[in-house]
Amino acid sequence: MTRPFDAQLARSAAITSQCKGILLEGEIPAHRPEAVDWIDVVYHLSDLDIYKGCVTNFAPFVYEDGKPWPEKAAPLIQDGWACVTECFVTEAPNATPDNTNWYATRNLGWATTQPMIEAWHISDYGDLSKYKNVSHWDAGNIGPTTLRRSLSREKAAAMAVQEWILERGGVPHDM
């Protein structure tokens, strides 16, 4: 489920669809008024016996200066939510599976992550065998050209935020 959504909408979607899992997008910085209230989302979905995950560029889990804010990720982690990291290296070169995994595990507290990569650039990612699962994002190639361009601009803006976060979060340069 992509934004905009709130806890009630996420719960309603999960129950109405009778899904086996829900993957919610976490891209809006926590300090912005339209940001998702993750504590409320966890509360409203905690009784549902479904797989839960957050696909993220880390923006909801950092302070305004880009430093990690693990307390923002803690409710998701404590409730067993998976962390799917956005790894779109053509738009954010530092957003590799290794760098995003390092950031999520060392700075935010997730035990492990699952990378989401660009399907049409799979060869740019090298060996992904150490990751349990790898998701493939291909929305930029779906639909009419005008839609692809608008999706690309939105995704590029989100990836610029992620690049900025990774630069300030101390991701080692020797990975």
Contact (Cβ atoms closer than 8 angstroms) between residue 26 and residue 4: no
What pLDDT digit, counting tens, does each position of 55-96 carry? Answer: 999 999 999 998 999 999 999 999 999 999 999 888 888 999
Q: Which CATH class is domain 7-168?
A: alpha beta
In this prediction, residue 172 carries a pLDDT of 59
Which residues of the chain carry a pLDDT beneath 70? 135-156, 170-175
Distances in Å between the Cα of 4 and the Cα atoms of 15, 36, 121, 141 are: 18, 8, 28, 22
pTM for the complete prediction?
Answer: 0.80
Domain ranges of the chain: 7-168
Cis status, amide bond into 4, omega within 30 of 0: yes
165 token code pair: 């976060």
In this prediction, residue 155 carries a pLDDT of 65
> Which segments of 17-94 are extended strands (E)?
21-26, 51-56, 82-87
Determine the straight-line distance between the first and last CA of the chain, rounded to whole angstroms.
32
Spatial CA neighbour of 117 closest among 108, 109, 127, 107: 127
CB atoms within 10 A of CB 128: 14
Contact (Cβ atoms closer than 8 angstroms) between residue 27 and residue 59: yes
117 token code pair: 């990569």
Q: Over the range 15-34, which residues count as b (16 or more CB within 10 Å of their CB) and which as e?
A: eeeeeeebbbbbbbbbeeee
CB atoms within 10 A of CB 162: 26
In this prediction, residue 170 carries a pLDDT of 66
Distances in Å between the Cα of 73 and the Cα atoms of 116, 138, 145 are: 18, 26, 36
